[in-house]
Amino acid sequence: MINVLCFAHMKDIFGGEKLTINSGGIATVEDVLEHLKTAYDADISGIMTAVNEEFAEESTPVGQGDTVALIPPVSGG
């Protein structure tokens, strides 16, 4: 299983701040994002990701027990 943490409006899109997805067939952050786009019909373009509290690229490997955080863009003044 892979744990997914959702921040800000991502919680609304996915119905909570934590998700767990089956790790079968998932090898990278890109795979996680594609799974979420398909399973939730969600537009999650432009978000940043982190794996186990380290900022990550789409090519970053993801494995059993890892935590992927979805970090939406923020703005302020």
Q: What is the pLDDT of residues 2-54, one digit of tens each?
A: 999 999 888 988 999 999 999 889 999 999 999 999 999 988 888 999 999 99
> So what's the pLDDT on residue 64?
94
pTM for this predicted structure = 0.90
Question: What is the per-residue burial (b if ≥16 Cβ within 10 Å, else e) of 36-55?
Answer: beeeeeeebeebebbbeeee
Q: What is the pLDDT of residues 46-58, one digit of tens each?
A: 899 999 999 999 9
Whether 24 maps to a domain, the answer reads yes
Domain residue limits at 12? 2-71
Distance (Å, whole) CA 66 – CA 68? 7
Can you give the CATH number for the domain in which 32 is found? 3.10.20.30
Token pair of 49 as six digits: 């990701």
Helix (H) / strand (E) containing 20:
strand 18-21
